[in-house]
């Protein structure tokens, strides 16, 4: 039997596909599914962000994974493959938490939850010409049940560049996992919805085995794909101690809490942490309480970010604009805070009512969802009717904040002087700022493609 595993890209508003010639990391879903597939299956993989999907690929089953704005493209690809007589199975976070009938209209089967416990059964049924329709994982197993992947199966690595270019080796981050899930209650978050606020960590030995596999290929820059690697601080400290002396650097998403545990932050820095993406979301306590994130205590943000910066760790701030309680004045307040805190990069989001989340339920009950086209759930589309500003004010303020943050004057204020530690990493982030500055000059509303 032949299996074709596909990670789709997503559409821009003109229906063109978002494509790139290189990307800074690579997902683990397709290699993991391949590792779960019985050995008598022939498996091919493709990530459409970088390569072309072959709709006429000789295969028996097509597996398509999707999250966020990928879902619209996933449905179109699924329809195209089924029109050619292929069996299609859909999975991923969005497929799991959104109404199942929407995905079943485009597929022979869907996987709900983690694939580890149902993938082989799903493939066996499809090979036999049958299907249960919904293959629902029974709870969540230990994180060590997830198999090791063959890192040669990563789809977004430019292997020739990695071997020949020191610049590319500085750019590409090798993905791995330490934990799954997040126990925090944030109402907008698809992660806590998917995992039902459960949290598990892999054993440190399993993580170190992945590190050894990556180093054997010449990789030393790691990206932990965890949504919250420090939710169990003791487990995180054990991992960080084990990484000290491994000769690697790493980046990850992380809550601001890491700055509030001096030992944890110190171990992170000593273990090679050079960059953290931190979901601050908003500066107003009352705004955060409305999305069940009051626990993050924004009054401490500046002090927290100073502590992280003092460790030589770059911060990528994730901010939401257009939340209830924010006004048109929030854009300038947010920009000044980001500059004052010398944040290295920013990723802005408009509120997105992801299906299945409590935030979606609240917005739907209030009749405030103005755009239900999942192709538009991209990062910066206006999907809700805002309360504290007009839609035009939200659009103008959002775009202006991006433009002003990545202006040359703002870059200088945030990135100078050069820190004593991690100068090479700092230089890479200066370059990222300059490239984004040039990109936004040519594409002033390109928030959907910023990453």
Q: What is the CATH number of the domain that holds 382?
A: 3.80.30.20
The helix or strand, by DSSP H or E, that contains position 425, with its residue range, turns out to be helix 423-442
| Position 234 pLDDT exceeds 50 | yes
What's the pLDDT at 423?
A: 87
The pairing of strands 87-91 and 174-176 is unpaired
Q: How far apart are CA 203 and CA 276, in angstroms?
A: 22
Are residue 85 and residue 190 in the same domain, yes or no?
no
Q: How far apart are CA 76 and CA 196, in angstroms?
A: 29
Are residue 370 and residue 250 in the same domain, yes or no?
yes
Are residue 272 and residue 186 in the same domain, yes or no?
yes
The residue to which tokens 């908003």 are assigned: 282
Q: How far apart are CA 284 and CA 275, in angstroms?
A: 25
Q: State both tokens at 152.
A: 């040669």
Are residue 178 and residue 270 in the same domain, yes or no?
yes
293-297: long-range pairs with CB below 8 Å, 24+: 293/184, 293/185, 293/186, 295/184, 296/255, 296/256
Are residue 310 and residue 380 in the same domain, yes or no?
yes
CATH for 126: 3.40.50
- Domain assignment present for 443: yes
- Domain assignment present for 277: yes
Domain extent, residue 318, equals 173-449
What's the pLDDT at 419?
A: 84
Angle ∠(281,325,411) on CA atoms, nearest 5: 40
Are residue 56 and residue 128 in the same domain, yes or no?
yes
Of 331, 326, 332, 335, the C-alpha closest to 288 is 326
Whole-prediction pTM value? 0.95
Q: State both tokens at 144.
A: 């060590």
Q: What does the pLDDT look like over 66-115, one tens digit per residue?
A: 998 999 999 999 999 999 999 999 999 999 999 999 999 999 999 999 99
Domain edge (last residue) among 86, 111, 136 = 136
Mean pLDDT of 379-383: 93
Full DSSP string of 177-199? -SEEE-----TT-HHHHHHTT-E
Q: State both tokens at 151.
A: 């890192």
Q: How far apart are CA 314 and CA 422, in angstroms?
A: 9
Are residue 87 and residue 190 in the same domain, yes or no?
no
Q: What does the pLDDT look like over 322-364, one tens digit per residue?
A: 999 999 999 999 999 999 999 999 999 999 999 999 999 999 9
| Position 60 pLDDT exceeds 90 | yes
Are residue 378 and residue 321 in the same domain, yes or no?
yes
> What is the CB neighbour count within 10 angstroms for residue 218?
10
Q: What does the pLDDT look like over 159-173, one tens digit per residue?
A: 999 999 999 998 999
Q: How far apart are CA 155 and CA 142, in angstroms?
A: 27
Q: State both tokens at 9.
A: 């890209």
Q: How far apart are CA 384 and CA 382, in angstroms?
A: 6
Q: How far apart are CA 210 and CA 51, in angstroms?
A: 26
Q: State both tokens at 444.
A: 């002033």
Are residue 123 and residue 234 in the same domain, yes or no?
no
Residue pair 95/33 in contact by the 8 Å Cβ criterion: no
Of 32, 81, 40, the C-alpha closest to 61 is 81
Are residue 191 and residue 239 in the same domain, yes or no?
yes
Q: How far apart are CA 161 and CA 155, in angstroms?
A: 14
What's the pLDDT at 448?
A: 54
Are residue 129 and residue 61 in the same domain, yes or no?
yes
Q: What does the pLDDT look like over 282-326, one tens digit per residue?
A: 999 999 999 999 999 999 999 999 999 999 999 999 999 999 999
Residues of the chain with pLDDT > 90, as a percent, come to 92
The helix or strand, by DSSP H or E, that contains position 64, with its residue range, turns out to be strand 61-65
Domains: count for the chain = 2
Could you tell me how many helices (H) and strands (E) the chain has, helices first? 18, 14
Q: How far apart are CA 158 and CA 169, in angstroms?
A: 10
Q: How far apart are CA 151 and CA 214, in angstroms?
A: 7
- Domain assignment present for 380: yes
**Residue 384 DSSP symbol:** B
């Amino acid at each position: 039997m032949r299996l074709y595993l596909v990670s789709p890209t997503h559409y821009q508003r003109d229906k063109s596909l978002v494509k790139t010639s290189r990307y800074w990391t690579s997902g683990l879903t397709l290699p993991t599914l391949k590792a779960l597939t019985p050995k008598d299956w022939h498996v091919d993989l493709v990530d459409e962000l970088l390569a072309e999907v072959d709709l006429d690929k000789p295969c028996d089953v097509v597996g398509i994974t999707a999250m966020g704005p990928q879902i619209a493209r996933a449905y179109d690809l699924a329809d195209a493959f089924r029109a050619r007589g292929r069996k299609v199975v859909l999975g991923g976070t969005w497929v799991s938490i959104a109404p199942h009938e929407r995905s079943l209209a485009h597929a022979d089967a869907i996987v709900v939850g983690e694939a580890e416990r149902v993938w082989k059964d799903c493939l066996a049924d499809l090979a036999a010409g049958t299907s249960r329709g919904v293959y629902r994982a029974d709870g969540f197993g230990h994180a060590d049940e997830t198999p090791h992947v063959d890192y040669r199966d990563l789809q977004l690595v430019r292997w020739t560049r990695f071997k020949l270019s020191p610049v590319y080796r500085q750019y590409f981050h090798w993905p791995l996992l330490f934990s799954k899930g997040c126990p925090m209650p944030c109402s907008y978050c698809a992660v806590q919805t998917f995992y039902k606020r459960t949290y598990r960590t892999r054993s440190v030995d399993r993580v170190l085995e992945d590190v050894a596999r990556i180093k054997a290929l010449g990789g030393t820059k790691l990206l932990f794909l965890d949504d919250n690697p420090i939710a169990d601080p003791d487990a995180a400290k054990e991992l960080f101690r084990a990484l000290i002396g491994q000769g690697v650097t790493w980046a990850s998403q992380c809550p601001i809490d890491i700055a509030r545990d001096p030992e944890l932050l110190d171990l992170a820095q000593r273990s090679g942490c050079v960059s953290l993406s931190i979901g601050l979301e908003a500066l107003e306590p009352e705004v955060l309480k409305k999305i069940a994130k009051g626990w993050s205590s924004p009054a401490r943000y500046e002090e927290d970010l100073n502590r992280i910066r003092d460790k030589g760790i770059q911060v990528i701030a994730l901010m939401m604009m257009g939340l209830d309680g924010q006004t048109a004045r929030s854009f300038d307040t947010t920009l000044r805070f980001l500059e004052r805190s010398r944040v290295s990069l920013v990723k802005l989001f408009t509120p997105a009512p992801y299906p299945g989340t409590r935030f979606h339920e609240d917005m739907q009950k209030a009749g405030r969802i103005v755009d239900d086209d999942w192709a538009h759930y991209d990062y910066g589309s206006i999907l809700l009717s805002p309360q504290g500003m007009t839609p035009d004010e939200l659009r103008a303020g959002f775009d202006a904040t991006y433009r002003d943050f990545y202006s040359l004057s703002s870059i200088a204020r945030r990135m100078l002087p050069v820190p004593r530690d991690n100068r090479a990493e700092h230089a890479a982030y200066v370059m990222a700022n300059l490239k984004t500055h040039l990109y936004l000059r040519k594409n002033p509303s390109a928030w959907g493609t910023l990453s």
